[in-house]
Amino acid sequence: MNHLIKRGDRYYYNRRVPKALWDQIDKQLIRISLKTDSKKLAIRKASKVNAEIEAYWNSLLNTNKTHSDERFKEAVNLAKHVGFNYAPVNDLASGSIRDIAKRTSAIKKHEGNPKVVKAVLGTVKKPEITLTRCLEIFWSITKDRVMNKSEKQLRDWRNTRIRAINDLKSLIGDKSIEALTRQDMIEFRDWWIDRIQNEGLRANTANKYLVFIKNIVETVSDHLSLKIDHHLIFKKITLKEKKTKSRKPFDKEYIKSELLNNIKSGDLNDQAKAIVLIMVNTGARPSEITNLEEADIKLDHEIPHIVIRENSLRELKTQYSERRIPLVGCSLEAMKKFPRGFPRYRGKTDSFSNLVNKYLRQHDLSPTERYSLYSLRHGFQDRLTRSGVNDRMQAELMGHKFNRPLYGDGPTLENKVQCLQKICI
């Protein structure tokens, strides 16, 4: 059903016009070059052309469409079918005389079909792309960005962008993105400044939402070839961020004398205890441990280790996050108790982190507000540094970018385990 024929070394889409349309179309055979000598590619192209042709034929038989999006899409397809790219009448008027002459000549064959005439002459009004509609289009053209996200990651990714658009709409209404102005974004920026001053929010939070809006509008504008000057609209729109204080690290002696004993004997559930203990000697992020799958846990290997990689539960934070980390000390013992991972917290890292941070506060295990569960990762980094571990080994263990050209295969598991045995608890 691909309607293919080959002439010479080229493939063509070839299909007879249904009898029901002979009065509306002045030819009985449609033949369109697919501009390829590859049969595999020709089949794909023919399938797309066939869908467009059938949509065009259906539009001729059905005159009851009223939705503006549908009318515009129909006009684009009609213009394409008779050999022209759709262009609004104002653009045509400022275009070449030759193009106008060609279009005028072509519509003489279709005088009995006003839809074709309007399509070729560009008199079908283009539908407005409101902020709401813009977001719907954005979802449909960014599927490649979310292919590897877990259900939670996808939900979070979508919700933050929905909130950004809704916040802007609450301020300026559901405006067409082609009518957006720099003043609109300055107003939105000022609205965020008021919230920062009155609600204790941070500038980097506002900047995230400003960047979300910018990216959504730019992506849709580029995809649809809209004439939006987004460079002017969003120029220098973000706020100056205050430097935030980093988390303080738990030092080795504190972990040994205070933290571990309390965690082991406390009332945390067994899976939460184990995840904390695994963080101690791996420096892994909480999400990297909670979302381990059974295949990522290599306890039977000559050197027991975990594999941090993309799996069905999550995508990696960065490309550098993929790595293998040996298990030593209390981390190895904890992992042995859960060789299949942590089903209670799979896809629920926030629940785990909130639980442990609350526990640390309630049991006075966070000396100041700058200490949290993440202080274990910072402490792991400090122990590596103080034991003289080189930068590349640190980057390999922490899942950080190594800021020099990479040569060779890097540290082996044997190298890593020797390094960790010197600092393990």
Looking at the chain, the whole-number percentage of residues with pLDDT higher than 90 is 36
pLDDT of residue 208: 93
Shared domain check, 399 and 307: yes
DSSP at 311:
B
Shared domain check, 153 and 112: no
With respect to residue 207, please indicate whether it lies within any of the assigned structural domains.
yes
pLDDT of residue 66: 35
Average pLDDT over residues 207-217: 95
Average pLDDT over residues 136-143: 90
Long-range contacts of 219-222 (CB under 8 A, 24+ apart): 219/138, 219/141, 219/142, 220/129, 220/134, 220/137, 220/138, 220/141, 220/177, 221/177
Average pLDDT, the chain: 83
With respect to residue 244, please indicate whether it lies within any of the assigned structural domains.
no
Shared domain check, 184 and 42: no
Q: Which residues contact 15 (CB under 8 A, 6 or more apart)?
A: 3, 29, 30, 50, 53
Shared domain check, 48 and 91: yes
pLDDT (tens digit, 9 = 90+) per residue, 145-183? 887 777 788 888 999 999 999 999 999 999 999 899 999
Q: Among candidates 158, 152, 155, 150, which has minimal Cα distance to 314?
A: 150
pLDDT of residue 129: 87
Query: What is the C-alpha separation between 301 and 252, in angstroms, rounded?
Result: 28
pLDDT of residue 421: 92
pLDDT of residue 382: 92
pLDDT of residue 67: 35
Q: How many domains does the chain have?
A: 3
pLDDT (tens digit, 9 = 90+) per residue, 384-408? 999 998 888 988 898 888 766 656 5
Shared domain check, 408 and 277: yes
Q: Could you tell me which residue, 68 or 122, shows the higher pLDDT?
A: 122
Shared domain check, 281 and 366: yes
Residue ending a domain, among 103, 121, 139, is: 121
pLDDT of residue 119: 67
* Least confident window among 1-15, 178-192, 291-305, 341-355: 1-15
With respect to residue 44, please indicate whether it lies within any of the assigned structural domains.
yes
With respect to residue 247, please indicate whether it lies within any of the assigned structural domains.
no
Q: Please check the confidence at residue 274 and state whether its pLDDT lies above 90.
A: yes
Residue ending a domain, among 86, 121, 156, is: 121
With respect to residue 242, please indicate whether it lies within any of the assigned structural domains.
no
pLDDT (tens digit, 9 = 90+) per residue, 340-389? 999 999 888 889 999 999 999 898 888 777 888 989 999 999 999 999 98
Q: Please check the confidence at residue 65 and state whether its pLDDT lies above 50.
A: no
pLDDT (tens digit, 9 = 90+) per residue, 105-116? 777 667 667 766
Phi/psi region, residue 215 (left: phi>0; alpha: psi -120 to 50; beta: rest), is alpha
CATH number at residue 412: 1.10.443.10
Shared domain check, 68 and 180: no
Residue 228 contacts residue 146 (beta carbons within 8 Å): no
Residue 314 contacts residue 150 (beta carbons within 8 Å): yes
With respect to residue 197, please indicate whether it lies within any of the assigned structural domains.
yes
pLDDT of residue 78: 62
- What is the domain range of residue 187? 131-233
Q: Among candidates 308, 356, 306, which has minimal Cα distance to 336?
A: 306
Dihedral (CA of 371, 354, 203, 378) sign: positive
Query: What is the C-alpha separation between 361 and 363, in angstroms, rounded?
Result: 5
CA 256 distance to own-chain centroid: 41
Query: What is the C-alpha separation between 160 and 166, in angstroms, rounded?
Result: 10
Shared domain check, 91 and 67: yes
DSSP string covering 58-76, please?
HHHH------HHHHHHHHH
Shared domain check, 43 and 25: yes
Q: Is 350 helix (H, G, I), strand (E, B) or coil?
A: helix
pLDDT (tens digit, 9 = 90+) per residue, 214-229? 999 999 988 887 878 8
Residue 328 contacts residue 424 (beta carbons within 8 Å): yes
With respect to residue 245, please indicate whether it lies within any of the assigned structural domains.
no
Shared domain check, 257 and 223: no
Average pLDDT over residues 289-315: 88
Shared domain check, 95 and 36: yes
Shared domain check, 277 and 194: no
Q: Tell me how crowded residue 404 is: count the other CB atoms within 10 A of its CB.
A: 9
Q: Please check the confidence at residue 206 and state whether its pLDDT lies above 70.
A: yes
Residue ending a domain, among 68, 100, 121, is: 121
Q: Among candidates 399, 380, 422, which has minimal Cα distance to 281?
A: 380
DSSP at 409:
S
Average pLDDT over residues 119-126: 62
